Chain A
Amino acid sequence: MLEVIGLTGGYGDKKIVKDVSFTVNKGSILGILGPNGSGKSTLMKLISGVLPAESGEVQIEGSSISTFPPKQLARKMAVLPQLHTHSFAHTVRETVSLGRYPHQEGWFSSWSAEDERAVLEAMSLMDIRHYEKTQIDRMSGGEQQRVFVAQALAQDAGILLLDEPTNHLDINHQKELLDTIKKQAIEKELTIVSIFHDINLASMYCDQLLLLDKGSVVRIGEPHEVVREKDIRSVYKTRISNHPHPELPKPQITLLPGVKNKIATHQICAEDFEISNGMVLYRSPTPLKTVSSAVVNAGSGWFRNFMNRHVDASYNVDDSVQEMTDFIEKSGLKTTDTVGMMTAVQTQDAIVKEYESLFGSVVIAVTAGVGNGVDVSKAVERSVRVGTINTWILVNGVLSNEAFIQAMITATEAKTKALQVREVRDPLTGTIATGTSTDSCLVAATQQGESLPYAGPITELGKLIGVGVFECTIKALELYELAKAKNL
């Protein structure tokens, strides 16, 4: 356990670190964050004892580090500095072996089996065993970094102080190194304090974070308590946006650049939709921010092309995503830039209409097939049949996250109302259907022009969506029934 109590210090009269206190328990990692010149490295020097503290104390297991002789301290605490200087040529092995210095006693050589084991293990952990005999000055910055991390690990100390351990490393080695360190922390119950430049990496790997600004602690706690838009913005003086990690319950940040790429202003119009007997296609000159439940590129993202493709009622492919991807590529579009949906409805029957209001306009596109109508309140296990309502809502405006979700809700409500009015029934239960088993919805926005924070049913945007989706769905259902009647 490492305890830092009211640590203050710096160079000469200048106090660079002011009254910093924290505790790190065995098996856990504390990440230190802060802008350049915030005193992170100085804090590290004070903790390691290289720089004597003006006031305050650093304690290991309850005793002050000033009471330990140098070698004994080095057996308890290993340090990875930010800058590495080395003169004369050294092999990787010689460099890592130096980590065993604090374990060497006596006048004569005393290289023990334990020393050998620690060095080999450290080299294996850092994946540098095959470089054993290589001169470190002939290695790349990233490889050297791994050698010095191995040197610190070979020290076999319970406490590790790391100053930007991922310096010079590519993303794979960043991950590998931090995975290793995290694993060591847990398995060997190490206490780790590490400086990070990358807030996202720190958030992912640390149990606790400490945000430092001008030498003082701004915030300390679990990542979700520290990586907060407001604090990060004010300390780093930069615009960021906060979002969750896709796999871990840890916050991540995204930089919002001060200079944006010049994007031509663009207006979505119903006339620009290309409707053929194979598909409904809308190609936007600028990417639209999109949320959808499509087959290809579902979820959220920025896309230029929107495809609603007609497939035969008997379409049955094991990997429909791959098949759809291939289809998109064959159509001359890029999969990375295209949202793709499918429908068994004849795409000529698609309804595309533009709705205008004071803030701007919304284009609604609907294809409806309800051979598979479902009353969601009575949905029980049933075989999937073809029949889909695909609803697109393309907005000329800037939508917030709430607005995207509200737009979906509003659209769904409008669709259900349309089914009710048309008295579409669930063939199994005989009750009014609320949708089909495979409906898809897509909301996309130019993110230009008017800011539209909400899209509930009584907002200007919500009104357009409600009316538009309702009308278009009614029309699409009429066409669907006409087509069905014709086929009979």
Chain B
Amino acid sequence: MYSMSKNIIAYGVSLLILVGTILLGVTVGTVSISPSVLWNPSSDEAAANILWNIRMPRVILAGLVGAALAIAGAAFQGLLKNPLADPYTLGVSSGASVGAVMTLFFGISIPFLGPFTLPVMSMIGALLTMFAVMSFAKLVDRSMKMETVILTGIIFSSFLGSIISLMIALTGEELRQIIGWLLGSVSMRGWPYVRMALPFVLIGSFILWLKRRELNAMLFGEERAQHLGVDVKKSKLTVLIGGSVLTGAAVSVSGTIGFVGLVVPHMTRLLWGSDHRHVLPLSFINGAALLIVCDLVSRTIISPTELPIGVITAFIGAPVFAFIFFRQRKGVA
């Protein structure tokens, strides 16, 4: 196929950038570490300790969260044919937060899930919110116009945000830390959080990747997809579940980080086309790279103070959001 070489370049460049950002992420910081420590830890025991126990889990967690949000965003955008959709703008992230905060607030622990209680509760929160937003948007406007869906997302987001605020107010001191977490951060999490998120990120991404052809067909409308032989109901449900698993996993370990799911798929499409067979995996890789960079910036820009990572993503994401909205409205494709 003619696009073979283009694909090799796309994946090659994306992976190269990802490896580069990982290297930067683990070496740059208040203590500068030589990359040689990576393959020769005995040369500097203290540096190796920082690298493997503090920076590496942080970088990998940022990568997982970024990958999860980006691929979920790409899938939501394809499903809703809405370039402004992502877990954050749809309010799904807020739903996941409520799930997570409730778990912490009530000290819920589902016996056989153990440490996975938190991500699973987040996922349930995400999924319920997703369904609620979709149903309400459809009730308002059967054609599910872009603005309607986003506005519904904002309504749910605000409402769920107030529930979280209420819970925080009720608990007093001990959940104050949640506020920092809510703004989005991957700091001081360590390997347990990586282990907690990893399986769900992989499962969720795989679920979405299985539906790559169906997403391609659905870009031409649900009816057209049906003509082409897509089981639309089943595919929609699968994508919503996959996206919710990813959002839940990401939010449970890092809080709400906005706009990653919006910016990354948009850039990916702009550079490499809209075919979901490639948009999904490329968004995954690029999402990981972007969040690693954002995390790096958040902890170095006004060092030693750390900014919440959500501040950085919003700083980049909001203008991109405005740009996409402007272009869509002006009919420039």
Contacts and interface: CB of A to CB of B under 8 A. Distances in A.
Contacts of B274: 88-90, 94
Nearest to A72: B229
A109 to B, nearest CB: 7
A70 B78 CA distance: 20
Contacts of B263: none
A116 B1 CA distance: 9
B242 to A, nearest CB: 14
Contact of B226 (A50, A75, A135, A137): A50
Interface string B215-226: 011011101101
Contacts of B77: 88
Interface in B58-111: 77-78, 81-83
B223 A81 contact: yes
Contacts of A74: 227-229
B223 A101 contact: no
Nearest to A99: B228
A101 B219 contact: no
A83 to B, nearest CB: 8
Contacts of A90: 219, 273-275
Contacts of A107: 210
A23 B81 CA distance: 37
Contacts of B216: 94, 98, 101
From B231, B269, B274, residue with most partner A Cβ within 10 Å: B274
A182 B213 CA distance: 31
Contact of B83 (A48, A87, A99): A87
Interface residues of B, number: 28
Contact of B220 (A85, A93, A135): A85
A84 interface: yes
Contacts of B275: 90, 94
B43 to A, nearest CB: 43
Contact of B223 (A50, A91, A98, A133): A50
A90 B81 CA distance: 13
Given A79-B227, A111-B1, A87 B213 contact: no
B227 A48 contact: yes
From A79, A87, A137, residue with most partner B Cβ within 10 Å: A87
A89 B227 contact: no
A70 B277 contact: no
From B77, B82, B275, residue with most partner A Cβ within 10 Å: B275
Contacts of B320: none
Given A70-B226, A75-B229, A94-B275, A89 B269 contact: yes
Interface of A: 45, 48-50, 69-75, 78-79, 81, 84-91, 93-95, 98-99, 101-102, 104, 107, 109, 111, 116, 132-133, 135, 137-138, 155
27 contacts: A45-B223, A48-B226, A50-B223, A70-B226, A70-B229, A70-B231, A71-B229, A73-B229, A74-B227, A74-B228, A79-B227, A81-B221, A81-B223, A84-B221, A87-B82, A87-B83, A90-B219, A90-B274, A90-B275, A93-B2, A98-B217, A101-B216, A102-B228, A111-B1, A135-B333, A137-B333, A138-B333
Interface of B: 1-2, 77-78, 81-83, 210, 213, 216-217, 219-221, 223-224, 226-231, 269, 273-275, 277, 333
The 3 closest A-B pairs by CB, nearest first: A74-B229, A102-B229, A88-B274
